[in-house]
Structure 1
Amino acid sequence: MAQVRQLLAAGADLPGESPRRDAEVLLGHVLGKSRAWLYTWPEQTVAAPLAAAFGELLTRRRSGVPVAYLTGRREFWSLSLQVSEATLIPRPETETLVEWALQLPLPAEAAVLDLGTGSGALAIALACERKAWRITAVDVSEAALAVAAFNVSRLCPGRVSLHHSDWFAAVAQRNFDLIVSNPPYVESDSEYLRRGDVAFEPRSALVAGSTGLDDIRQLVDRAPHFLRDGGWLLLEHGHRQAGAVRELMQEAGFPSPQTRCDLAGHERVTGASTPSKSS
């Protein structure tokens, strides 16, 4: 039987920037152990069926399949989320949007809408931080909604209302204090679509026309009809799209839109509030 250290060494040729870490995550997943356990017990022998299962995961990873899809898990905002090939893989840059949302001067029981929720990452992170907020999350993909429902049931049961919807269709008669979204924003001919994990993620959650702005333009144009007086809209976008998104917001009647950078220093989230009638 192979030892832990031998199995990890077999993953040295994995693609990507962190082959050792990926091998550790995959072996830990197969064994049901933490990475710390792997460090502590490198001489531990692994039963043949488990070693074979690990070998199969290495083969799939070598073909490019994302680690998150192989394990069915990805951490976001310190939460372990289930993911599948029906959802985008949550990324650290999206936490910029969560941080901004939590800093807004919203009512204690704010009504919040997450458009295109996918795995539920944004809605669940906000629900875990603001237990009194009334959060609605929608997605056009029923498969993605099933993943989001599982995550809600584990992490914040009863605190996020999920709906099958093409953007605002299921909330036509409602108004919100905050609308958030990580919509599709990649150009249809972008090289980015053929790189790394992105090549395996659902195109419908990535691509938004030739400029990457088709969905953002629709959300910005329609959001004022669903926001309360002084309500906020926060949108994630590509790191070269901030100026265009600010311009779209201004054209839609949002005064003074602002942009925040992610941890890599890229302009990542743009937001603005509707004019307050009391001001």
Structure 2
Amino acid sequence: MCSNALVQVQDNKTFLSMINGVLSTDGFYFCTDYDLSHTQQRLANTSPDFQEMSLLERADQRFVWNGNLLRDIIAQPELHKFAFPVIHGFIVMKPCRINAKIFEWILISRRSCFRAGVRYYVRGIDSEGHAANFVETEQIVQYQSAKASFVQTRGSMPFFWSQRPNLKYKPKPLISSSTNHMDGFKRHFESQILIYGKQVILNLVNQKGSEKPLEQAFAKMVDGMDNGMIRYIAFDFHKECSKMRWHRLQILVDALLLKDTHGLSMMNFVCMFMAK
């Protein structure tokens, strides 16, 4: 066997090993006949031309984790049927029964490939307004031919702050004092409103101790943005629900059910809270 053939064989083994490594890692998903990168809500508002596109062409790039590998293929339409976007997150599908009615319950969480990282090392936003560890979660209920989709998003609080690990169990968060927070903050929520519509922000961090400045900064920036499409609710989860007092979540539910100034409940949510 010539040297070129030996190199090719070794390269094939390397690539197959990489593919097997991804496929055996929890959290990566792809589908050959369903668009995992888009919610049912977005797909319901697309044109016939969009529906005719390949999964590769129409994928939401925020959630395509193999985008770099597919970059060269997208310019070659004849190869699209062999290339599928891979998302990272969580998917579960369960048949359910209520009052003798059987329906399908589906939960899909899509983790953004922009500003992803491990706990503590990646916080806040970047200059483009991408929040760290942003996740879009969609709950789908399908009964016969009818479908209902409810979408929530979560991410790190969308301004410039950090929480670098040290010898302490819980490092103190630090808000940047040398950065224009409002530019990135506006970019983030302008994108959110464009994609999802009205926003209800749920901030679940502690409202005392080291997290208090984060909550105060978030509330101040929402006020400064002065956008009628955004509603802000701060709920000190650990204080209100400590000692297993889960019934106190009703306080939060009641706040969410309040009508906005137009008499309509805001049904698009963005949950921003600091991961523990």
TM-score (norm 1): 0.29
The answer to which structure has the higher helix fraction is 1
Which structure's CA Rg is the greater one? 2
TM-score (norm 2): 0.29
The answer to which structure has the higher strand fraction is 2
